[in-house]
Each structure stands twice: as structure tokens, then as C-alpha cells.
Amino acid sequence: MGNKLSLTILALFYVLATFAQAGFDNWFEKKSLRVDFALSGNSEYQAAALQQLREEPVWAGPVKNLIDDFYYGGYYANVYDKSSGQLIYSRGFNTLFEEWRSTEQAKKEVQSWTNSVSVPFPKKEIVLEITGRDKEDMRFHTLLKLDIDPTSIFIDRSKLKENKTTNIQNKGDLADKIDLVFLGEGYTAEEQDKFVADARKFTESLFKTPPFDTRREDFNVWAVGLISEESGPDVSGKGIFKNTALNSGYYTFGVDRYLTTPDMKSIRDAVWNVPCDAIFILVNTDMYGGGGMYNFYAMGTSDNPRTPVVFVHEFGHSFAGLADEYFSSEVAYDDGFYNLKREPWEPNITTLIDFDSKWKDLLPAGIPVPTPLDNAHKNNIGVFEGGGYLAKGIYRPMDHCMMRDYAPFCPACSRAILRMIDFLSDK
Ligand SMILES: [Zn+2]
């Protein structure tokens, strides 16, 4: 390629990048608008209602990739310019409430859970819409629509508690980098040094794991030390209850190893002034367990021998929207979690309703679909029955994967992770 041509191409890239950045600057300031809202309902219905709006001082998310066209998750936050109606920002996410709606309990009672999203802070009046996906048609339907004036007196602009924040890894500007935040849970004032050491340990396990090992330069890593009054999480099934910063506990939905917290408000309060694209809550215990929901948070424990791989597995859920590929463990979901008459949205499982949208292009010629689990096929990519908590009707890309049994990520999962890294780092 001649010098002139490559210069022209470079100039074109520069113009495109400047144009994209100008799009952000036209609509937004580099601060966040945090929207806390309740999701209420049961297995049959859900509704959303506003709880609070907050102006927070940092925006670390993309400034070019403002529209999320992955269509992952059970919910979307959409931001429209009010005067023109143009969609100017969107992002999908999951919630723990959505999982609860699949439990037996949700057939018998109504609950209300706090959730929270952050969007870039608007310069002009916007319409903020929260949509929820209906499992029957897999489409998003409006749950909440709000007109928001960025100058409104109803936006709380107060500071919150300043927690001790340690920069574990700094690779550059917040907008181009993915800011991964570790939150310390169940660490007392005397255990804060242990928390930072644990966060360093897990940073290393993440960036030793393919495909994250090839993209370490795209991540900044922060450790936010929260002081808990007592050490370790709740283990409610054994009568153990601790006073901790984020109210985490095992026995989520009655499953002993399922470690989560419903306390989204405390999580968002903890990161109010920290650059944050992804949250990992590190729980100070040696018990086995964890949990992770797409673009919500992931949680794992500090000292179990298996926690370095559990950490990567849970981060696969929360960061890249990956489904569990296992199908034999006890789970809390009544009637199954997936609608077998529809294609699930997760990139690493399929019901074969719309396999073309998944990893079909990664299959070598001649691989039968579905693929028999015989000696000729079991060590390669295929379409193997069993996944998403079901032995029949859902298919996974490889026999073994990080999302099944802590083997290396399969090619479909790896590609999904790399695509998300590209999106969040504004590639
Ligand atoms: Zn996989």
C-alpha cells in the first residue's frame, strides 16, 4: 500500500473517530446519571417504578459505541433525545429479580427489588425507557418511561462515602479502557490489606485465562475497599447471619452454593465515584460458591481452592452474557429457565430455533447438527445436546467449557468475550 493511500485511510479513521466522539459530546457530559428503580411482580407479571435519580461524577463507559446491538439480557435501558426522539444511548442487562421470577416462590407471592442503571449524563432533556423481555415472544416491552430534565431539582447531586480505592492495573484513559472494579464484601477494617491482595490475585487469574490473556491492555482494574462490621457472608441455611457492607449470602433461592446479594443500592453507592464498566464482588470466605448476571455484577469467594476458576466462570456471565452450559446440577428454576420454543439470547447455547444467529459459522464443514458425542466429535466444536440446566432441548458448543466445568472457554464463548471487549473498549 502506498504511503499516500495509508495516510488517506488514517485521516479517514481520524475523522470517523472524531465524529463519534462529537456524537457523545453533543448529547452527554462525562458524568453519570444513575437511575434506581424497583422491579415488582411475580412469575406472571412485572412492573417498574422510579426510586431515585442521582448525578455521579464519572463516566467510564464507551463514548463511541453508544448503541448496544448485542440484544443480550432481560432488560434494556434506552435513552432518547426528547426533542427529536432519536435513540442516543442503549444498554442491555440482567437482574437477579428476573431469575427469582422463575422460582416456585414467585408463583405464590409478589416481591419488589431495587435495581439500578447508569447512563451518560445528558446535556438536554431526555426520555429514559426501561424495557423488559417477555419470555413468550423474546421481545422487549416498555416497563417504564420517564422524561428527565438534567437541570431538575429532583436529581440528587450529593456526594456519598469515599471508600479507599486502590488502582490494581492502569492501562490508560477511562473511555477507551474497560474499568473492572473489585468490591470487598465481608472484610473488616483489619482485613483491608487482605482484600487488596485478593483483588490482585484474581486480576492475575483473569489475565492468565484465554482469551482475556490477549487483551490485558484493554482493562483498568480498581479495588474499592468496603468495611464490613463482621467477616464473611450470610449462610442462612446454616443459621449464620453477618453484618456486612453488601448483605451477601449463600442459599439464594434456597440453593446452598448460590452466593448473591439483592442489595443493588449499596453496590451502586459503593462505586458512585469510581470508573466502572464491570463489577466483581469479592466475598471474604473459603466456602465454594458464586453468582453472576449479565451487566449487573459477578460474585465469588476469596479463599476456596477452586475460586480462581469460579471467578472466571462468574465473570463470563456478568461480562459477556454467557449462559451456563451445565445441565446436571440442582437449580432453583421451576419448569426450566429457558423457553424451548424460542432461541435464547445467550451467545453460547441454542435451542436450534435460530442456530444461524449463533456459532454455526464456526463449525467446520461436514459437522452434523446436532453433533453426536462420540470419539470423532467430542473434543471439537459442534452442537451437543445438554446445556442451560436442561439435558434435552438445549445445545452447547463443546462438550467441556469454562461455562460447564471450568475447562478452557469454548470457541463460541471466546468469540463472545472478545466481541464484548471490543464493544466496551470502543473498538
Ligand atoms: Zn462455552
Place of cell 466429535: 377
**8 Å CB contact between 289 and 235:** no
In the reported structure, the alpha carbon of residue 19 is separated from the centroid of ligand 1 by a whole-number distance in angstroms of 36
In the reported structure, the alpha carbon of residue 410 is separated from the centroid of ligand 1 by a whole-number distance in angstroms of 4
Mean pLDDT value of segment 356-373: 96
Select from 183, 265, 284, 170 the least CA-distant residue to 224. 183
- For 168, the enclosing helix (H) or strand (E) is strand 164-169
Half-sphere exposure of 157 (CA within 13 A, CB side): 8
Residues 6+ apart with CB under 8 A from 17: 64
Residue 76 has pLDDT above 60, yes or no: yes
CA dist 359 → 33, 66, 418 (Å):
36, 25, 14
Q: What is the pTM of this model?
A: 0.93
Mean pLDDT value of segment 233-261: 94
Residue 8 has pLDDT above 80, yes or no: no
Helix, strand counts (H, E) of the chain: 7, 16
Structure confidence at residue 11 (pLDDT) = 59
Mean pLDDT value of segment 138-160: 98
In the reported structure, the alpha carbon of residue 338 is separated from the centroid of ligand 1 by a whole-number distance in angstroms of 17
Residue 334: count other Cβ atoms within 10 Å of its Cβ. 14
* Domains parsed from the chain with CATH numbers: 2-156 (2.60.40.3250), 164-320 (3.40.390.10)
**8 Å CB contact between 15 and 108:** no
pLDDT category at 5 given cuts 50, 70, 90 is: low
Mean pLDDT value of segment 156-174: 94
In the reported structure, the alpha carbon of residue 209 is separated from the centroid of ligand 1 by a whole-number distance in angstroms of 13
Mean pLDDT value of segment 211-217: 97
pLDDT category at 173 given cuts 50, 70, 90 is: confident
What percent of the chain has a predicted confidence (pLDDT) above 70?
93
**8 Å CB contact between 120 and 175:** no
In the reported structure, the alpha carbon of residue 408 is separated from the centroid of ligand 1 by a whole-number distance in angstroms of 8
- Four-residue CA torsion sign, 416, 422, 424, 425: positive
- Would you list the DSSP string of 127-162? EEEEEEE-TTT--EEEEEEEEE-TT-TTEE------
Structure confidence at residue 1 (pLDDT) = 45
